[in-house]
Chains A and B, each alone.
Chain A
Amino acid sequence: MMAWPAPLRALGHPMGGLAGGWLLLVAAAAVLAPFLTPYAYDVQDLPQAYQPASAAHWLGTDEFGRDLLTRLIYGARTSLSVSAAAIAVSVLCGMVLGAAAAWFGGWPDRAVTVAVDLTWSFPEILIALILVAIIGPGTTGVMVAIAVAYLAQFTRLTRAQIMTLKGETFVEAARCLGAGTGHILFRHLLPNALAPVLVSAMLATGDAIILEATLGFFGLGAQPPVPSWGGMMSAGSALVFKAPWVIIFPGLAVAITVVAINLYGDALIAELDIRQKLRRTA
């Protein structure tokens, strides 16, 4: 039983299996998009605009007569990749900062702590809005904004993990054997701190999808005609009574995907038995 890695074991949970299935489905659809749909996401067919769901267009069409399901699938590409990439950057930087703070203590630690408290003093959406205003609209700006908005979370989590691990016997043992700082950090401390950080990164990806959608609502992020779930909802908000499906489906896609991430994350936490580790730094 232990031979299976935890992410697969999590699929064995009833909810975890369902959620993991949905996530795999969305990911597969995003990757295979061109083979799944006969429509292009960017070709307009103006006479077909504002069509409700039909056999030809399962979820209806948008204001340019484009197939909504097609755009939803391609939108998954943008939304998931932007969120996941942003969180990946955020995790990497957060781990470096957190580990450095915990390991060196003293002023680097104090500086990192103040910086963390600093970013936590602003709601994430505000950090993101201001950063995008500086960097400019488009996916890069949004990615950086999301990465910075969640940086504090991973820094703090990594720092707390390393702090507890620092005093443990195996670290002392390694030190006594003459291991250098780098060796201890990268071979002993970070790998042990990895599981909780990765799980919380996964949960944060869910939040990042929502944040990306919210920025898309303000017209920031992927530029037309490239679809993103947020951008689709933003266009749909002006059509809310004329063609409500244009806004309803992308919103459902976000909600269901984020629910799935949370459920799968819960299953993973149970499998890895790291609830206490996460709780301490929540």
Chain B
Amino acid sequence: MIAYLVRRILMLVPVFLAVSVVIFSILHFIPGDPIDNLLKIGSSPEARAEMEVRYGLDRPLPVQYGIWLSNVLRGDLGTAIVARRPVADLIAQALPHSLALGGLALLFSTVAGVGLGVIAALNRDRWPDRAIMGGVLLGSTMPSFWLGLILMLVFSVWLGWLPVSGARSWTALVLPVLTIGLGGTALVARITRVSMIEASGRDFVTLLHAKGLSPLRIQLGHVLRHALIPVVTILALRIGWILGGAVTVEVVFARPGLGTLLIKSLSQHDYPVVQACLLMLAMAVMLGTLLGDILQAVMDPRVRAALA
């Protein structure tokens, strides 16, 4: 098991390096550069060269990459070129908002999804099952920015219950969390339902029935526990997907966060900030995948047996 863990973590190293190369280099293919935003229009080439030296943009790309990577590994994310402040400060301002949004959306998806999935599984092929599965499918196919705007229209404008945008109070979180969470709910509900139905057919369930336990107790006490394994795994694997949803939703609701920071910095060519944001998102996804794989290994007896 330990050997598996070590091997799994070591596998991340080449991926991390590849990710860092891509993050670093891809921005340089976008037309325009950050110096343009700083220089006086009509500036001399000398002034430009001086500015490039100042921000280290005059060196060959591989050298710039080496410096950047070694700084990042030492925890130094550099200084924003256009925003003129430490990138770490910008990230520190944005990250809590994104974590709150992503975390709550994840929680919402899990609770609502498992709940609906259980109800659907218990009523397999009857109308509550069909209604729930139809509803969540519809929920997962609406573009998140559209859903966000429609929710805004209904709950903020027509009903006046919740604030439209921003992050000035906890109520401002409700609509963005719902917007992202509804997509995740569909996924969780589907997996919960399928896993419960599958688990119900397993030998140990027949045994429990034979022992005379009440069907509901069997379902909630034993079957659900088994069914949760794939749910947790898939959720961990889907962290990136939730973060991706957060980018659009943050823009729609004018919320501070990594998504808005990223979009803003991308359009200003503020490389250090974009690099840091992408790195944060990629790391979250990689850790999510790692977590998912480990959970699968720990909880799935077949995989565990294979590794032993």
Q: Do chains A and B touch in the complex (CB under 8 A)?
A: yes
- Chain A residues 176-192 with CB under 8 Å of chain B are none
Q: Is A40 an interface residue (CB 8 A)?
A: no
B281 near A126: Cβ-Cβ < 8 Å: yes
Which chain B residues border A258 with CB–CB below 8 Å?
Answer: 141
Q: Is A108 an interface residue (CB 8 A)?
A: no
CB contact under 8 A between A214 and B145, given known A118-B19, A121-B240, A134-B29: yes
State A254–B142 Cα separation when bound (angstroms).
7
- Chain A residues 22-38 with CB under 8 Å of chain B are none
A254 near B141: Cβ-Cβ < 8 Å: yes
B143 near A259: Cβ-Cβ < 8 Å: no
A237 CB contact (under 8 Å) in B27, B145, B241, B262: B145
B141 near A210: Cβ-Cβ < 8 Å: yes
Binds B, one of A56-64, A163-171, A194-202, A241-249: A241-249
Which chain A residues border B19 with CB–CB below 8 Å?
Answer: 118, 121
Which chain A residues border B282 with CB–CB below 8 Å?
Answer: 121-122
State A114–B12 Cα separation when bound (angstroms).
9
- Chain A residues 227-281 with CB under 8 Å of chain B are 230, 233, 237, 240-241, 244, 247-248, 251, 254-255, 258-259, 262-263
Which chain A residues border B14 with CB–CB below 8 Å?
Answer: 114
State A132–B251 Cα separation when bound (angstroms).
18
B137 near A130: Cβ-Cβ < 8 Å: no
Q: Assign chain B's interface to a size class.
A: 35 or more
Q: Is B285 an interface residue (CB 8 A)?
A: yes
State A229–B17 Cα separation when bound (angstroms).
38
B142 near A114: Cβ-Cβ < 8 Å: no
Smallest CB gap from B32: residue in A: A133
Q: What are 25 residue pairs bridging A and B, where the CB atoms are less than 8 Å apart in the complex?
A: A114-B15, A118-B22, A120-B289, A121-B15, A121-B282, A121-B285, A122-B285, A123-B245, A123-B247, A124-B241, A125-B248, A126-B244, A126-B262, A129-B263, A134-B29, A134-B30, A214-B143, A230-B143, A237-B145, A237-B252, A254-B143, A255-B138, A255-B142, A258-B141, A262-B137
Which chain B residues have a beta carbon within 8 Å of chain A's beta carbons? 14-15, 18-19, 22, 26-27, 29-31, 137-138, 141-147, 149-150, 152-153, 157, 240-241, 243-245, 247-248, 252, 262-263, 266, 278, 281-282, 285-286, 289
A118-B18, A247-B150, A263-B137 known; 11 new pairs, CB 8 Å cut-off, are A115-B18, A121-B15, A122-B281, A123-B247, A130-B266, A213-B143, A244-B153, A251-B142, A254-B146, A255-B143, A259-B137
